[in-house]
Amino acid sequence: MQKEQLELSFDRVVVPAAASRCRVRSSRATWWFRQMRRVVNRACDWQSAPPPRPAQTYLCLAGESAFSHGMHGRAR
């Protein structure tokens, strides 16, 4: 058993590498958001689509079918 205290230290090279990685991430984020702001600023306003035409539907009454009215296989 060792009765001396162990001393652990970090290499000084590790800390600047982590700091530079942080700077790189920050600059990438800055670039990304700048690009997104550019896209939003250049976007043109779209007019909404006109409302769709009314659809014609056929309600089958009791005992009737669409086939008896000539509606088989054709859209009307």
- For the entire predicted model, the pTM comes to 0.39
List, for residues 16-52, the tens digit of each pLDDT value: 677 788 888 999 999 999 999 999 999 988 899 999 9
- The angle formed by the CA atoms of residues 16, 19 and 25, to the nearest 5 degrees, is 140
- The angle formed by the CA atoms of residues 24, 30 and 36, to the nearest 5 degrees, is 135
